[in-house]
Amino acid sequence: MSRIGRQPIPLLPGVNVQIEGSRVTVKGPKGQLTREFHPDMRITQADGQLIVTRPSDEKLHRALHGLTRTLLANMVVGVSQGFTKTLEVQGVGYRAQKQGPNLVLAVGYSHPVEITPPPGIEFTVEGTNRIHVHGIDKELVGQVAADVRRVRPPEPYKGKGIRYLGEVVRRKAGKAGKAGKAGRK
């Protein structure tokens, strides 16, 4: 049996769950999330926790068991606490600022890049080089953060660009023998 799938999901205070067949709606202080799960997975609510069970030990059911449990747990955490991804902007003259709900990036292009957040996502900017992406849907927060990073991914020679907080960019050496070529003719 799946070690992840068999763990019950504790319901945090203020979180309500409605199960209608394979559709699950989770409501909490930060909002509401609804998701359709595979019809073979059985989701039950008992004693303040959610339990996911599978009908057989087929390969598909084993794979769906852990996935369903993890997606449900992310929904419960999202509506009660929310999720945040942090990005850093590094480079001379590179900066980020917020204009209304939009994020405006100056990252070495001839024009500023404006990113409009999808519904349920909010940007905050700390200083001029740290961007926080907030939301209740973990999948959407990760996707929006990846889209922001894709505007100018970190390059391997000087490390300039947008990276996740704590991301390590492997640096490459520049051209070898640059100084030695000037003396030869």
Per residue of the chain (185 residues), what is the pLDDT tens digit?
Answer: 468 888 889 988 889 999 998 899 999 999 999 999 999 999 999 888 999 999 998 899 989 999 999 999 999 999 999 999 999 999 899 999 999 999 999 999 999 999 999 999 999 999 989 999 999 999 999 999 999 999 999 999 988 999 999 988 888 888 876 555 555 55
CB 72, CB 50: distance < 8 Å: yes
- Calculate the dihedral angle through the C-alpha atoms of 175, 179, 181, 185, rounding to the nearest 10 degrees: 160
Identity of the residue numbered 75: M
**In the 8-state DSSP scheme, what is residue 30?**
T
Cα distance between residue 55 and residue 134, in whole Å: 36
- Amino acid making up residue 165: L
